[in-house]
Structure 1
Amino acid sequence: MKRLTLLTLCLGFIVSLTANVSTTQAQQPGADQPKRNVGLIDMATLFKDYRKFSDMRDQLRNDIKASDEKAKSMSEQLQALQKTLKDGTYTEGTPEYQKLESQLISQSTQFEAFRKTQQRDFLRRESKIYKDVYMEVVAAVGQYASYYNYDVIIRFSRDGVDETDNAQELIQNMNRQVIWHNSKIDITDAVLKYLNQKYGPATAEAPGNPVK
Structure 2
Amino acid sequence: MKTQVMAALAALVAVAALGSPALAQNAAGANAQKYGVAVVDINYIFKNHQKFITAMDAMKTDFQAVEADVKGKQQKIMQAQEQQKTFTPGSPEFKQLDEQIVRMTAGLQVDVTQKRKELVDREAKIYFDTYVEVTDTIKLYAEHKGIGLVLRFNGEEADQNNRESILRSINKAVHFQNSIDITPDVLAYLNRSAVTQRPAGGAAATPR
Alignment match, 2:98: 101
Pick one of 176, 186, 189 that aligns with 2:184: 189
The alpha carbon displacement at 1:176 in A equals 1.2
- Which TM-score applies when normalising by structure 2? 0.73
Alignment match, 1:166: 162
Alignment match, 1:177: 173
Contact 1:81 1:100 in 2 (8 A): yes
Alignment match, 2:69: 70
The alpha carbon displacement at 1:125 in A equals 1.0
Cα RMSD, aligned residues only: 1.8
- Unaligned ranges ≥5, structure 1: 1-33, 203-212
Distance 1:91 1:39 in 2: 76
- Residues 38-82 of structure 1: per-residue CA shift (max 9 Å, x gap): 110000110000000100100110010000000000000000000
Alignment of 1:53-64 (within 5 A): 53-64=52-63
- Residues 8-67 of structure 1: per-residue CA shift (max 9 Å, x gap): xxxxxxxxxxxxxxxxxxxxxxxxxx9661110000110000000100100110010000
Q: Say which SS state the counterpart of residue 93 (structure 1) adopts.
A: coil
- Which TM-score applies when normalising by structure 1? 0.72
- Residues 114-167 of structure 1: per-residue CA shift (max 9 Å, x gap): 111111111111111111100100001111001011111100011123x44322
Contact 1:36 1:149 in 2 (8 A): no
Alignment of 1:73-152 (within 5 A): 73-86=72-85, 88=86, 90-152=87-149
Quick check: which has more Rg, 1 or 2? Answer: 1
Higher RCO (CA < 8 A, seq sep 6+): 2
Q: Say which SS state the counterpart of residue 39 (structure 1) adopts.
A: strand
Matched-pair identity in %: 29
Distance 1:151 1:60 in 2: 37
Counterpart of 2:169, as a letter, is: N
Counterpart of 2:177, as a letter, is: H
Counterpart of 1:155, as a letter, is: R
Residues 109 and 121 of structure 1: CA distance in aligned 2, closer, same or farther (over 3 Å) = same
Residues 96 and 171 of structure 1: CA distance in aligned 2, closer, same or farther (over 3 Å) = closer
Q: Once superposed, which parts of structure 1, at least 4 consecutive aligned residues long, lie more than 4 Å away?
A: none
Aligned residues: 162
Matched, 1:153 2:150: yes
